[in-house]
Amino acid sequence: MATITLGNIKFNWKGTYNAGTAYAIDDVVSYNGSSYIAKTATTGNLPTVTANWDLMSQAGTNGTNGTNGDTFGLANKEIAFKTNAGALDGIPIGTAGQALKVNSGATGYEFGSAGTSELLGSGESSNVTSLAINNSVLSSAYEEFVIYTFISKASGGGGGQKEMFVSTDNGSSTMNVDRLYHFAQLYPAGGTGHGVSSAGVNADRIHLNVGSATGDYHNGKITILRPSFASAGERNRNTLLSEAVSSQNPGSSVNVENLTAYACIHDGNGNRMSNIDYVRFEMNGAGFDMKWAVYGRKW
C-alpha cells in the first residue's frame, strides 16, 4: 500500500527557486515570473528542466520596455491617447474649470473652456474721448461676446450721448447699422417718459443712452452675436443687443433711465458677412471714465 504523507496532500509553496534547496514532490516555486511544481525530489535542477518540474502558471508578456509600457515618457498628470498616426502621446493637465475636448483641427485632444463664459480682457480709462476694444480681445475663436461697461461723463461739452461704433476690419473702417432702441425714464415723484426710435437705418453708430450731464453714469451690457454660417448670403449675420441702466444727476434729483437697443450691420454693407472684431465707444465730444470687461462664448 502506498504511504501518504499528510503534509503533502496540498501544494507546498516554497517561494522563489533556490538552487541549494532540496525540493520534494509537490513543492511549488516561482522562477522568472512563472510558477513550477516539482514532480520528483530534486536539488539544483532549474524549474525549466521538465524531467523534474512541470509548468504550473506562465508569466504574461511584459510591456514594450519591460516595465510598465510607458515608452514615450508620459509625464505626471498627463493623459495618454493614440494619435491618427498610431503613436502614443500625452496631454498635459489643463487649468481649474477646463474640460477635455477635441481640438479645432479634429486631430487630437486639448483642455479648454467647458462651455462657460471666459474672460478675454478688461480695462479702465479716465477722462478719455474715445475707447476701442480690438481683435486682440474680440478674437475669431468665439461666436458670442458679452461686454460689460461702467461709463461716467467726466468733462467737456457735447450732448453726453454715449455711442458705439463697430467694425469688421479691426477699425480700418466702421460699419453702418440698422438699429432700433427703446428708452424709459423714471423721474422723481413718479414721473415717467419713454420713447422708441427706428430712424437709425443705415446709421454709422449705435446709441447707448439718451443723454447725460457731467457726473451721470450708466451700467451697460452689450452682446455681440456672430454665428458662423456654412454659406454666404445670410442677412444680418452680426446682431447686437445693448442694455443699459443710467443714473442721471446723481446726488440731487436722480432720474433713472433704461435703454435697450437692437442693431445689425446694414444689409447693403459689403462686410456684413464678416465678423465684428472691433468696437469703439465715444461720448459725442465729451470726456468719460470707463471700466469694461469682455467675456467670450463658444458654441
Task: Give me the DSSP letters along 277-294.
Answer: -EEEEE-TT-EEEEEEEE
Write down the pLDDT at residue 149: 93
Q: What is the pLDDT of residue 11?
A: 83
In the prediction, which pLDDT does 66 show? Answer: 39
Do 28 and 15 meet the contact criterion of CB atoms below 8 Å apart? no
- pLDDT number for residue 40: 93
Give whole-number Cα distances, 25 to 2, 20, 141, in Å. Answer: 15, 16, 74
**Confidence (pLDDT) at 139:** 84
CA 2 to chain centre: 78
Task: Enter the DSSP assignment of 234.
Answer: -
In tens digits, what is the pLDDT along the chain, a chain of 299 residues?
556 565 556 789 999 999 999 999 999 999 998 999 999 999 999 999 999 999 988 887 755 543 455 555 677 878 887 777 777 777 888 787 677 887 777 777 888 766 667 889 999 999 999 999 999 999 877 888 999 999 988 888 766 678 899 998 999 999 998 888 887 877 666 667 676 765 578 888 888 876 677 888 888 999 998 765 555 555 556 788 888 887 776 656 677 888 888 888 887 777 777 888 999 999 888 899 999 999 998 76
- Cα(178)–Cα(199) distance, integer angstroms: 9
pLDDT for the residue 92: 82
Provide the pLDDT for residue 292: 96
- Report pLDDT for 65: 46
Where b means 16+ CB within 10 Å and e means fewer, 172-209 reads eebbbbbbebebebeeeeeeeeeeeeeebeeeebbbbb
What is the predicted pLDDT for the residue at 67?
Answer: 45
Q: How confident is the model at residue 268, as a pLDDT?
A: 79
pLDDT of residue 62: 58
Say what the pLDDT of residue 112 is: 75
